[in-house]
Amino acid sequence: MIINADAPKPEEKEEKVRKAGGKTLREVIVKIGLERIDTQEGVTVEALLNSRATGLVMSLEFAKKQGFKLKKLQKLMNVRNVDRSLNKEGPIEYMVEVNIYYQEYRERMEINVIRGQKWSVILGMLWLARHNSEIDWRIEEVKMMRCPEECSKQWRPVQGKLEWEK
């Protein structure tokens, strides 16, 4: 799994948009709802849509603070930065199962949990490709117009592959 260790923090967003000028941005921030499966309690969070990240990740610190139930992975998963170097925070040991809400979209997902992440949640290329959303990168608008029929069911990413399984 690749994460973007250099992604700007939420407060740096405005600066990044101004500096981008006529260039296409690879990052968009969206507000999503995350619901804990065990308690059905939810939280709203700014998530980073990042086409340079391959998977879905949640910060360990955020997961603990919000009371998400951590599930131990059967096999540790190494994390690589965008430059392909191993992430200094170590491998992924846990995941959380959540319901994600955005506009009319709802889906139960397993999200990998990593240490030392600047963002609470990153939705990477695996999620972007699966949902094939209509994204206006300049004004940071995302429309869930082409969601697969399977949305609203439980799907999860297959470790080490760019595909999904029931």
pLDDT in tens, 118-162: 889 998 888 777 777 777 777 777 777 666 666 654 444 444 444
> Could you tell me which residues are beta bridge partners of residue 105?
102
Q: Which residue has the tokens 């209509």?
A: 134
Tell me if residue 40 falls in helix, strand or coil. coil
53-97 residue pLDDT tens: 888 899 999 999 999 999 999 999 888 876 778 888 889 999 999
Residue 70 structure tokens = 């951590």
Please state, in angstroms and rounded to a whole number, the distance separating the CA atoms of residues 149 and 21: 37
CATH 2.40.50.140 fits 10-158, yes or no: no
Query: What are the domain boundaries of the chain?
Result: 10-158
Q: Among 49, 46, 44, which residue's Cα sits nearest to residue 66?
A: 44
Residue 68 structure tokens = 């998400």
Do 121 and 47 touch, CB atoms closer than 8 A?
yes
Q: For position 14, what pLDDT does the model report?
A: 44
